[in-house]
């Protein structure tokens, strides 16, 4: 199997690159590619890792014929055409927790610096002046902080602001009352009700049609005199032109702006005001955040290339940590089972049942269904099948999918059983580090870890059959590495699952068919 290739088009922490290389991937770092250069090289890569500098357009995605996953080493995916990636079955993932502490700390930094006019005082001192009386500031203590957006970063800001003795109010249509209570935030349903009572305002919102220009002249006019505004989220949430007008008028005491609608930004209406604290998008610019972003993204991309769960995938149902720990190890097992069934029965099944057994009975089956479909449909479609598009492709093929649970797992703590038009297969995992073990096939009980190449025989059981198989394979230079025999005494049948090394030609298959009387089935399977 050819070595999978990863293109890194923006600077990534060395530790992240090492994660990929240790897993056996070929990694190329090519920085400062033009759009045309990126389109030219992307066809040879299985994965792409970017930061904010690379624009992953639909044209890039359509050129990436082998692309399976795009990793954004950071939180926002504004520079990736997620819809185009989804259309082509490409997973898009990010590192949403990599910089949240850094962003929260930058928020507090700007809030404090704006309140105490630190930058102005610093500039004055560097100009060899002593203007102590000029830089009167305000305290955070007992002031009201309005937090717009109470997600991961907004929540961390709330925790830190409470330590300063601030009163917290918030606006977030998606935040539950229980979550707000936990953070010590009083929720408001209407933005206009918050504006007149806030001494400080910080925004932690995504860039959407609704949030761009969310704060303009009308909103600034409703704010308390002397309010301080901070933005470490996305540029454009505050209308900068009108913000500058209100800073000039003294309505807004100060502001701390780290993000800009168009970056890099070297000139704006705020540049002329010394009480406008402006920084060049430093929210994630810490050594710790850069390291986490690189390592986390590399781990998620590696998981995607290995066919495992990508917990931060943007364009598929998110996988909570508790679900991932329970069912994650079974995703490769489900892909394996789907692949075996696809090679045994070349027809696309009409009905597919995925049954979670034992300890998995209460788990969400959706990612295991996707894994099974991926393995099954890879042999029936020219499209790249990923968990992103597997369900849609199944519908196009007319496959009816059913899920079920069973408390018993055939003597194992947990297992997954798949039935496709009556053809049954089941797998378990001894532990997360081991390969999936096949424990049932067509009702024959066994316990074997399938290899990359296998032969499966079903015949009427009789002495000497395995010896005949071994002789023919030996003469062809094919080595048997492991083997399991399952029986059905009531039917006097046996099923032999044999992992082999060497090329199994059509000629060898024909010799085996001729040499085995009462041979019911013979399949050659590659995984």
Helix H or strand E segment including 170: strand 167-171
The 3-state secondary structure of 99-155 reads CHHHHHHHHHHHHHHHHHCHHHHHHHHHCCCCCHHHCCCCCCCCCEEEEECCCHHHH
Distances (CA, A) of 38 to 62, 80, 279: 12, 14, 30
- Cα separation, 94 vs 239, in Å, equals 28
Let me know the angle formed at the C-alpha of 110 by 109 and 114, rounded to the nearest 5 degrees: 120
Yes or no: say if 263 and 281 are a contact pair by the CB < 8 Å rule.
Answer: yes
Helix H or strand E segment including 68: none
* Residue at token pair 């920085």: 31
Catalytic residues: 234, 263, 281
Let me know the angle formed at the C-alpha of 290 by 44 and 278, rounded to the nearest 5 degrees: 115
Distances (CA, A) of 451 to 134, 267, 460, 505: 76, 61, 25, 17
Helix H or strand E segment including 496: strand 493-501
């Amino acid at each position: 199997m050819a070595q999978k290739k990863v293109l890194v088009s923006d600077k990534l922490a060395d530790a992240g690159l090492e994660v990929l290389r240790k897993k056996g991937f070929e990694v190329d770092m090519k920085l400062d590619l033009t759009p045309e250069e990126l389109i030219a090289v992307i066809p040879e890569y299985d994965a792409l890792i970017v930061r904010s500098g690379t624009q992953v357009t639909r044209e890039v995605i359509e050129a990436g014929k082998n692309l399976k996953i795009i990793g954004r080493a950071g939180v926002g995916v504004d520079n990736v055409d997620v819809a185009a990636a989804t259309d082509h079955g490409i997973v898009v993932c990010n590192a949403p927790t990599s910089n949240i502490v850094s962003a929260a700390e930058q928020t507090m930094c700007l809030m404090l610096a704006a309140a105490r006019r630190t930058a102005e005082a610093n500039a004055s001192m560097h100009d060899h002046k002593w203007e102590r009386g000029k830089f009167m500031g305000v305290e955070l203590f007992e002031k009201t902080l309005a937090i717009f957006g109470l997600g991961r970063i907004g929540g961390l800001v709330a925790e830190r602001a409470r330590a300063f003795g601030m009163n917290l109010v918030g606006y977030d249509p998606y935040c539950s009352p229980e979550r707000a209570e936990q953070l010590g935030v009083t929720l408001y349903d209407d933005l206009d009700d918050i504006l007149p009572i806030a001494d400080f305002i910080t925004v932690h919102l995504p860039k959407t049609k609704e949030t761009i220009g969310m704060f303009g002249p009308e909103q600034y006019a409703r704010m308390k005199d002397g309010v301080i505004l901070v933005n470490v989220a996305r540029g454009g949430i505050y209308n900068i032109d009108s913000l500058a007008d209100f800073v000039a008028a003294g309505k807004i005491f100060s502001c701390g702006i780290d993000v800009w609608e168009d970056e890099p930004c070297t000139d704006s209406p705020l540049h002329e005001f010394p009480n406008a604290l402006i920084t060049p998008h430093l929210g994630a610019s810490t050594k710790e955040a850069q390291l986490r972003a690189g390592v986390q993204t590399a781990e998620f991309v590696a998981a995607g290339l290995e066919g495992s769960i990508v917990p931060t995938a943007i364009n598929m149902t998110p996988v909570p940590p508790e679900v991932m720990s329970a069912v994650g190890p079974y995703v490769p097992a489900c892909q394996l089972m789907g692949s075996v069934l696809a090679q045994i029965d070349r027809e696309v099944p009409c009905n597919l049942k995925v049954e979670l057994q034992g300890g998995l009975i209460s788990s969400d089956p959706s990612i295991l269904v996707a894994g099974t479909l991926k393995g099954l449909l890879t042999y029936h479609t020219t499209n790249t099948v990923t968990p992103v598009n597997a369900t849609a492709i199944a519908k196009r093929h007319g496959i009816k999918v059913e899920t079920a649970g069973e408390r018993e797992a055939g003597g194992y703590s947990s297992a997954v059983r798949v039935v496709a038009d009556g053809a049954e297969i089941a797998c378990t995992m001894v532990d997360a580090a081991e390969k999936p073990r096949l424990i049932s096939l067509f009702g024959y009980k066994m316990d074997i870890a399938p290899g990359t190449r296998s032969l499966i025989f079903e015949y009427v059981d009789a002495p000497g059959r395995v010896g005949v198989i071994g002789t023919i394979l030996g003469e062809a230079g094919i080595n048997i590495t492991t083997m399991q025999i399952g029986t059905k005494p009531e039917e006097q049948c046996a099923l032999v699952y044999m992992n082999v090394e060497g090329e199994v030609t059509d000629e060898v298959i024909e010799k085996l068919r001729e040499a085995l009387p009462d041979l019911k089935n013979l399949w050659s399977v590659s995984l």
